[in-house]
Structure 1
């Protein structure tokens, strides 16, 4: 269950309450007239099943509650209520399958914004991966994958395509391109510095490297893994299974490919550099393609499951 707390202009309170009561999966409706001071209005609260919240939020936005008042959504970690149990049973579909599009758009907007922190994580992750590449150390490669924040902008692009939000798409693409460009440039300088300290060498880069040579040698499996990871990543976001994102991060060769390209560039090995760039592009394209198709599939499936579920108003 989710908890909605809204500040509603008094002239729209009755309509908002009517909408809540006519939405399947809602309960525990509370109205406190005149309780809100900034902005002024009535405080309206209710609990709603996850499956029904997207429809309810859409209705509230049509009433312009988000513009003239406010809408806050909170998770309910634990609830003891027979009525809440009944509301969840009434709601169509399963909670785990429901996509809250407003929440997804908000989350991807935040994660896909180009910030100093985002760039710092990208640079640090790529530098860690560079150490893993030169030392042929799989543990460092996995660690770098987990640190990399690139899935946020990738998810932003997918959401923007499905939701037809060009501003989010541009913002996400800028974060993705600038983040990787900054990371590769910084890691190239880092590699040159490590070489000057005799900590990196070209012979290490040219060695067999059985644990990491796949990074600059893309093959069909690279695309297959990217597709599967894109599906898993989007499902983890839309179902709030955020723990799965770690598995997604360490299953695709994005940050390591950028790192290998940077180290190869520092030594003038353009063969490895272009192979790494191809690997990077293949993984990014595969993740975005799978993410877009997954969101479209979820949208169609949920629309089919939900149908036109409504219940008579209590008024």
Structure 2
């Protein structure tokens, strides 16, 4: 429920009262004597869903152009006429607590902090996210999402587009662009210091860290996360759900990928940086597109729902631009997703073929271990580099011809991935104990 106070300009008093009478709204009117151009102050309670249509009627009557309107949350209203009004706006399944677009604009502005505070909080979030990714710590990465003030800026642009608020739209776009840039720049600086300090493990690819690897080689499922964040963000503002939790979800789609861009740039891995950058762009587009679609479907317009809205054309244009850009950027993600499926299928079929080969009598003393499909380092679009088969044996040393048989069974070709065999020696040290030692020698990449 809401409680409205309207300072009515001179010459508009009767128009306001006529509209309230026509809507059967209980009101209290008093004279306004401040000499500021207002003739009266009208106060009245409204169901939440009635705020938007009533203010629309006042605006169409030319009242709200110069009037001052204050909307306040009301705990309860005890009145038979108010109950009737609430039931009227709840007819046909429409009863609910959808926030009016006037209040929605205010909420978006409230969740968009002062720029200096916004920048400082994002810098802190970038430092925490970069540290978490370098340390491969999920808990630290989650902490960076909690402190990122991204809810308001991520949704302000979409709310501004759909409701025709150019200032709010510009603020939203500016905050999003500058915010992502700050996170990337801060991550580059911190990651460069970390590399100069010798934190790069010798001979180890920096992106082998799980938290980082999934950001530099994203798949189509990443889009689902960002789309869900956009929808949930709008619902949190319009339906009163927990904004804090949704803010973390939006930050999860933007902060770690942006930090991954900075880390990979600092390490000179520009292909991986491209992959993380594509993920950031895809998530930004997805959040904005989902927010616009959710707002439009919910019926938010600068005018009434059944009128021709001046923002219809701009909203469609922005949605089309976001949608087309998203489809273009989703193409490499589709390739990565297809590779993931192919890798899983190849690993499964390779395990089956290894088991079949080892069932032959000459290999009865061998036992199949893990089968791993390894990708090359050509980020973001990788390909299968080798298939590593682990064999458990009682004696050290490679088994002649085994790599050839496995390669033939798995079905690799001359231009395909290498089949590499690693041997693990099982040493029996007692009736109830057994240890396994990996033999450093393995099948040569050319042994097929």
Range of TM-score over shorter length: 0.7 to 0.9
Distance in 1 separating the partners of 2:59 and 2:201: 59
Distance in 2 separating the partners of 1:68 and 1:296: 27
Q: CA deviation at 1:30?
A: 0.6
Q: Would you say the 8 A contact 2:132–2:139 is kept in 1?
A: yes
Q: Would you say the 8 A contact 1:230–1:248 is kept in 2?
A: no
Q: Would you say the 8 A contact 1:215–1:253 is kept in 2?
A: no
1:87-98 map, 5 Å: 87-92=85-90, 93-96=94-97, 98=98
Q: Would you say the 8 A contact 2:50–2:89 is kept in 1?
A: yes
Q: Which has the higher contact order (CA 8 A, sep 6+)?
A: 1
Distance in 2 separating the partners of 1:258 and 1:211: 13
* TM-score, length-scaled by structure 2: 0.60
Distance in 1 separating the partners of 2:264 and 2:79: 61
Q: Deviations over 1:113-162 (max 9, x none)?
A: 77111122222212211111011111122221222223322212222332
Distance in 1 separating the partners of 2:114 and 2:191: 25
Q: CA deviation at 1:256?
A: 0.6
Q: Which runs of 5 or more residues in structure 2 are unaligned?
A: 307-448
Distance in 2 separating the partners of 1:55 and 1:156: 22
Q: Would you say the 8 A contact 2:150–2:247 is kept in 1?
A: no
* TM-score, length-scaled by structure 1: 0.83
Match of 1:191 in 2: 191
How many residue pairs are counted as aligned between the two chains? 299
1:218-233 map, 5 Å: 218-233=218-233
Match of 2:408 in 1: none
Q: Would you say the 8 A contact 1:145–1:249 is kept in 2?
A: yes
Inter-CA distance 99–267: structure 2 relative to 1 (3 Å threshold): same
Q: CA deviation at 1:80?
A: 3.7
1:41-56 map, 5 Å: 41-56=39-54
Inter-CA distance 208–255: structure 2 relative to 1 (3 Å threshold): same
Q: Which of residues 31, 34, 38 in structure 2 aligns to 1:33?
A: 31
Higher helix share: 1
Q: CA deviation at 1:41?
A: 2.9
| Partner SS for 1:18 | helix
**2:65 is the alignment partner of 1:84:** no
Q: Would you say the 8 A contact 2:216–2:272 is kept in 1?
A: yes
Distance in 1 separating the partners of 2:221 and 2:9: 56
Deviates more, 1:75-84 or 1:283-292: 75-84
Q: CA deviation at 1:297?
A: 0.9
Q: Would you say the 8 A contact 2:229–2:249 is kept in 1?
A: no
1:230-245 map, 5 Å: 230-241=230-241, 243-245=242-244
Distance in 2 separating the partners of 1:197 and 1:19: 71
Distance in 2 separating the partners of 1:50 and 1:57: 12
Match of 1:287 in 2: 287
Distance in 2 separating the partners of 1:132 and 1:39: 58
Inter-CA distance 143–152: structure 2 relative to 1 (3 Å threshold): same
Q: Would you say the 8 A contact 2:163–2:300 is kept in 1?
A: no
Match of 1:254 in 2: 254
Q: Would you say the 8 A contact 1:32–1:44 is kept in 2?
A: yes
| Partner SS for 1:201 | coil
Q: Which runs of 5 or more residues in structure 1 are unaligned?
A: 305-315
Inter-CA distance 297–40: structure 2 relative to 1 (3 Å threshold): closer
**2:59 is the alignment partner of 1:61:** yes
1:94-105 map, 5 Å: 94-96=95-97, 98-105=98-105
Deviates more, 1:248-257 or 1:134-143: 248-257
Distance in 1 separating the partners of 2:33 and 2:141: 54
1:135-284 map, 5 Å: 135-196=135-196, 200-201=199-200, 206=206, 208-241=208-241, 243-247=242-246, 249-250=248-249, 252-284=252-284
1:112-151 map, 5 Å: 115-151=115-151
Q: CA deviation at 1:195?
A: 4.3
